[in-house]
Structure 1
Amino acid sequence: MNASLKLCALALAASASLAQAQTAAPKLEVVAEWNRLSYDLGDKAAEKAYDDQQVYKKALLHGVKVDSRGTLYVSTARWGGAEVPATLSKLVKKGKAWKLQPFPSKALNDVTNPKGLKAVLGFEIDRNDVMWILDQGHVAGAPSKPGDEKLIGWDLKTGREVARYEFSDADSDKKCSFLNDVAVDNDAGVVYISDSGIFCNPLKGGILVYDIQSNKAKRVLSAPEWVNNEDYSFKIHGRDVLKPVDGKPNGMKTGADGIALSGDKKTLYWTNLTGNRLLSLPTALIRDFSKSEDEVKAAVKLVNSLPSNTDGMTADRNNNLYMTALGLNGIMKRDAATGEVKTHVSHDEVSWPDTLAWGPKGMLYFVSNHLHLWVDGDMDFDHPKVPNFRIYRFATGAKPYLAK
């Protein structure tokens, strides 16, 4: 082969390798893992009691978020009971083990503190390193008390609370509500919130909008056809999500859950967990509190029918959406240019991918927590085939929706 042919062959090979690299699935990296969650409480007696009384069986890992320095924070929503020592924690390394350290403090995680955090599921860290903490208020599913359902802004740089809003009865039903997840718009000064409404049948799901400057909120959408379950059943690794009761199917019913703000801040997306519709609303409309429910309802758009239902979602600065795929054991990606949704990353060891979080350098983190096994009481805390709780990450090469 002459020199020119060799160069041509090398160029073609390089081109093929580049094309393959561009289409290859991102590599998943395990950041942290646990068979049972372990807390750093600064109190040996309390830590021993946590283990001896098997309180770890009541603690489920839900969300993860990452600040600008790469510090990880996680939520454990006290679905199992008040004994769970903290509902919001910072991850700290003790030797080779990751521990959950109550955040912002033990006092604010004290379930008996009337101003403290009761049950945090969704939270977000904005581009100014302010953590927006959404407190469901419901401990072990009990109705929340006045002041329990709230949104708190916590400045990570100064270590101070900078905002607090307690949801009124007009915002959320204190028996039925299930305040789930948040998305933040720093440009407009708005926080968007999903409510799954799971504690009543029929569900009472909804979308809420909070205006930071005025410290006011409004429930902008409660239309049942858009924010409740869609008579949708699904399996995780071939297993029904909930065990039958008295021999009858026991399907999960969950309304508005995953929520995401587009990179250009013009569109709010959400999904109902027991459903596979990707829905949207224009943010300019729902930020205007003078608009009626009928006007908002008329503007809802069905964007896509998804190949899987999803729990958590987020967007990059270019408006591409990343969505956890419960039935596909991984992450889906919606291409903003084409509208096409494809499996982006999947692995057999991923089980119930829950929330998504942006980290430095375009890394996207997510939790895998075997939630269905925990809910059914079938979680093996001693010798599971795969660690019960994992935090994964993968490179996107993109900027988060929060970026300027």
Structure 2
Amino acid sequence: MALDRRHLIAHGLTAAAALGLTRHAEAAPTAEATPPAGARSATSRPAGPMELALLANAPSTPTGLAISRTGRVFVMMPRFDATVPITVGEVAPDGTVRPYPSEAMNRPDPKSPQASLLHVPNGVIDRDDTLWLLDAGLPEGKGPPVPGGAKLVQVDLAENRIRRVVPLEAGVTPSSSLNDLRVDIREGRALAYVTDQGQGEEGAILAVDLDSGRVVRRLQGHASTKSQKNLVKFVEHRPVVLRLEGGPEKPVQGGANGIALSPDGRRLYYAPLIGRRLYAVDTASLLDPDATDAEVAAGVEDLGEKGMTGGLTTDSQDRVYLTLQEQNAVGRRHPDGRIEVIASDERLIWADTFWITPDRWLYVSAAQVNRRPEYNGGRDLQQPPYAILRVRIDADPAG
């Protein structure tokens, strides 16, 4: 079912006009250029501005984004600290963000960790138009996850009720910070993959068999899931470093962060938050009970430079989309390794999560994470409402 674009665009443009934001005409796609032999990057279309799809008046930083086939828009707001009022919301046509699936579910209760949402950085909608939420179990944004709090929550969108909770306790450590999720449900399999960016240098990937509930932690300590040393991310012309009020500046760390699946579900793409390289691993090896950690690690592919990114996604042509946070831009990596920049927009401040709709729009959230108080000496420089932008692409979603 095609997305009801009127639901998103009409109200987004009204709000944009009120704030003095200008809607830009969609850039007309051009034929893709053939790169010279040996070239590994190419820009084959103008990297023009994006369309403003919606302005979300979220009460906190909306890193996550998911859009149902009927056009319902959901944002996820991780609890960077205990003051965040809700961690999952549905965006109304006027930009209002309402607690989802209920206000009660959004009240963190460490004593009932399976019955409340503690810290949700991301969520996805599967082929059956069911919402899956990733809860990292961190009601204060840091410290050890609440026992039993790390979980996947399946939500029935038709009835707005919790259908199932899948514990992730077996895959987390005291320093875990689960970040992103992909769900692969098709005939013969029901699987999920989660990145753990950690609260220091170490990250990992969790693989989940949704039928049995088995959770396996893989690639901890591997270079591909670690926060890379001596790197600084620049957003809006400033280095992103921890600037706590009254304290010294500290480098930002973040291991495995963005994640994406190939169209056939056989390959997992991922990258650290602080890192410039893209990696891939065979998904079958992650849940293979006979595969050792060393064997899984031996199968990791380094796919090369891709810039500083947050979220990733793929389309039906197995092209990986890149949130180029330092350039306020969207990149696209082809299977042969070529990278092109397909859109750039000054409103795309800390590009975070992608979503591709059946009518071939690529949406991305502008989360403004770099404007948060912890990066600005205690000053909150975020400016709600938060933009959700989009650009036309020439392919279907991967799944």
Instruction: Answer whether TM exceeds 0.5 for this pair.
Output: yes
Give me the whole-angstrom Cα distance separating, in 2, the residues matched to 1:279 and 1:253: 18
1:244-263 aligned within 5 A: 249-263=249-263
- Pairwise CA distance, 1:79: 1.1
Q: Which residue of 2 aligns with 1:211?
A: 209
Give me the whole-angstrom Cα distance separating, in 1, the residues matched to 2:388 and 2:302: 31
- Say whether the 8 Å CA contact 2:315–2:396 is kept in structure 1: yes
Q: Which residue of 2 aligns with 1:148?
A: 149
Structure label with greater radius of gyration: 1
- Say whether the 8 Å CA contact 1:209–1:287 is kept in structure 2: yes
- Pairwise CA distance, 1:287: 3.0
Q: Which residue of 1 aligns with 2:46?
A: 24
Residue 397 of structure 1 is aligned with which of 390, 394, 398? 394
Give me the whole-angstrom Cα distance separating, in 1, the residues matched to 2:29 and 2:241: 44
Q: Which residue of 2 aligns with 1:195?
A: 196
Q: Which residue of 2 aligns with 1:135?
A: 135
Give me the whole-angstrom Cα distance separating, in 2, the residues matched to 1:393 and 1:213: 35
- Say whether the 8 Å CA contact 2:202–2:227 is kept in structure 1: no
Secondary structure in 1 aligned to 2:79? coil
Residue 359 of structure 2 is aligned with which of 358, 361, 374? 361
1:95-244 aligned within 5 A: 97-112=94-109, 113-114=112-113, 115-140=115-140, 141-168=142-169, 170-173=170-173, 175-187=174-186, 188-198=189-199, 201=200, 203-231=201-229, 232-242=231-241
- Say whether the 8 Å CA contact 1:261–1:315 is kept in structure 2: yes
Give me the whole-angstrom Cα distance separating, in 1, the residues matched to 2:85 and 2:270: 31
What CA RMSD, in Å, does the superposition of the two structures yield over aligned residues? 2.3
Question: Alpha carbons of 1:152 and 1:398: their partners in 2 closer, same or farther (altered >3 Å)?
Answer: same
Give me the whole-angstrom Cα distance separating, in 1, the residues matched to 2:47 and 2:313: 18
Deviations 1:110-136 (A, max 9, x none): 212541111100211011111111101
Unaligned runs of at least 5 residues, structure 2: 1-27, 34-43
Q: Which residue of 1 aligns with 2:327?
A: 328
- Pairwise CA distance, 1:60: 1.4
- Pairwise CA distance, 1:25: 3.8
Structure 2 residue identity aligned to 1:28: M
Structure 2 length normalisation: TM-score?
A: 0.82
Secondary structure in 2 aligned to 1:137? coil
Aligned residues: 351
Question: Alpha carbons of 1:243 and 1:291: their partners in 2 closer, same or farther (altered >3 Å)?
Answer: closer
Give me the whole-angstrom Cα distance separating, in 2, the residues matched to 1:106 and 1:351: 28
Give me the whole-angstrom Cα distance separating, in 2, the residues matched to 1:368 and 1:392: 8
Q: Which residue of 1 aligns with 2:71?
A: 70
- Say whether the 8 Å CA contact 2:67–2:73 is kept in structure 1: yes
Q: Which residue of 2 aligns with 1:80?
A: 81
Unaligned runs of at least 5 residues, structure 1: 1-15, 38-55
Give me the whole-angstrom Cα distance separating, in 2, the residues matched to 1:303 and 1:152: 32
Give me the whole-angstrom Cα distance separating, in 1, the residues matched to 2:87 and 2:295: 37
Question: Alpha carbons of 1:244 and 1:69: their partners in 2 closer, same or farther (altered >3 Å)?
Answer: closer
- Say whether the 8 Å CA contact 2:222–2:297 is kept in structure 1: no
- Say whether the 8 Å CA contact 2:143–2:175 is kept in structure 1: no
Percentage identity across paired residues of the two chains: 28
Between 154-163 and 106-115, the greater mean CA deviation after superposition:
154-163
Secondary structure in 2 aligned to 1:111? coil
Deviations 1:184-236 (A, max 9, x none): 212231111100011xx4x3310011111112111122133221111121211
Question: Alpha carbons of 1:20 and 1:213: their partners in 2 closer, same or farther (altered >3 Å)?
Answer: closer
Structure 1 residue identity aligned to 2:62: L
From the two aligned structures, give the one with the greater helix fraction: 1
Give me the whole-angstrom Cα distance separating, in 1, the residues matched to 2:227 and 2:29: 44
- Pairwise CA distance, 1:356: 0.8
